[in-house]
Amino acid sequence: MNDQLPVAVIGAGPVGLAAAAHLAERGIAFVVLEAGDEPAAAIRQWGHVRLFSPWRYDLDAAAARLLAEAGWVRPDDAKLPTGAQLAADYLQPLADLPAIKPHVRYLAPVAAVTRLGLDRMRSAGRADAPFLLRLADGTDLLARAVIDASGTWGTPNVLGAAGIPAHGESAATAYVDHALPDVLGRDRDRFAGRRVLVVGAGHSAANTLLSLTELPGIAVTWAIRAASPARTYGGESADALPARGALGTRLRERAESGAITLLTGFDVRAITPGPEGVEVSDGERAVTVDRIVAATGFRPDHTIVAELRLDLDPIMGSTRALAPLIDPNEHSCGTVPPHGVDELTHPEAGYYAIGVKSYGRAPTFLLATGYEQARSVVAALAGDWAAARDVQLDLPETGVCSSSQDLGNDTIDAGGGGCCGAPAAETVPARGLLTMVEVPAGPSGCCS
């Protein structure tokens, strides 16, 4: 009976649509459930940002094959796309293919995933029961398997240094923007002429800081928990990733010139709105500003699958098998070993989280890794276990993030920002780069 049901894919971002392309190629029925009103809804929110990686690393192989068959003109492999170009020139055409479009449902956020007639406590008959997906509008759908590519974009980390909201943070939301606001575009009026605090040590913080310094009449403060910004500056001219190196060099120059006021060793503990603005304190020092940009990264939300039997690593929030392979204490993006369905399997047979959500709170995710996850999982669902276990990745050891990034609420920022490269105005040549996208897909992650 279950074989007659579709595979449910949650999220129409890069990795979710890659899964759809692989399912279409193998003739497996599927439905894609997207919370936004168009594909790549989250990526479009940071469409003004240019990726570090050229087009050749931003395309899934099955998706590219389907598009080519439809007469799609492939972008120049050597060019660096913006998020908007990634969405418009690749993901929108992919979602519009006849093999995929009829199976995508927009404005269909998933509220819960469980087993039909069974809660998490029931074991008898569990493997034979179809999955029940309840949408936010109350609609119930049945599926033979679930590929959760919903990402992490909708669940940003808090500003509080201890992983919980700082005192007063909940009451100060009107003053806070999350990662990668369009400072020079649609969000300009919120920042021009204001005092702005950017919290975070990853590349999304660096991008925002550099853009803010282009605005007139602005005072920019940058707060990091580390004692030095050296890790954010990276290798600069010696960096194997030229775009990342250029970003670090420009940021260091702006900080040293006084265009950016740097606060090191700053753990956000209290946020207090007042008549003169909002005060942010680490218990000893305080700065009063008009706006705060929380470039502190993202984390997965597992609440929709609370009735499934998941075996999550207590630190990473990934599967236990995957955790040691992606641990940022041991790996950068480029040193993560190849992995696929075996490392992504939970005790709940048939449920797979792929893409940035599969990495939990580790910042070592690469888009190319997500594509290989999708290929492996779909091959397993097709019963092609030889292909499913033939996982291969060719990654540069430098990657686009660093295992030396601070842990805690700066950690995932290395992933959310690292994927996003330089501001769109900065066209920096790159070589051998791979995209680390998050976040920012689907509606909840740079790249689901």
pLDDT at 125: 92
**β strands within 16-97, DSSP E:** 30-33
Global pTM reads: 0.86
pLDDT at residue 167 greater than cutoff 50:
yes
Q: In terms of DSSP H, where are the helices of 165-312?
A: 188-191, 203-212, 230-233, 242-257
pLDDT at 334: 60
pLDDT, average across residues 39-47 = 95
Cβ–Cβ < 8 Å for 420, 383: no
Q: Indicate the pLDDT class of residue 239, thresholds 50, 70 and 90.
A: low
Task: Summarize pLDDT for 247-272 with one digit per residue, the tens.
Answer: 788 999 999 999 999 999 999 999 99
**What does the DSSP 8-state code read for residue 448?**
-
pLDDT, average across residues 52-56 = 83
What are the CA-CA distances from residue 356 to residues 133, 326, 391 (Å)? 21, 11, 18
pLDDT, average across residues 3-14 = 96
Mean pLDDT over the full length of the chain: 86
pLDDT at 409: 32
pLDDT at 201: 87
Q: Please give the Cα distance from 221 to 195 (Å, whole number).
A: 8
Q: Which domains does the chain have, with CATH numbers?
A: 2-155+298-407+425-444 (3.50.50.60), 170-294 (3.50.50.60)
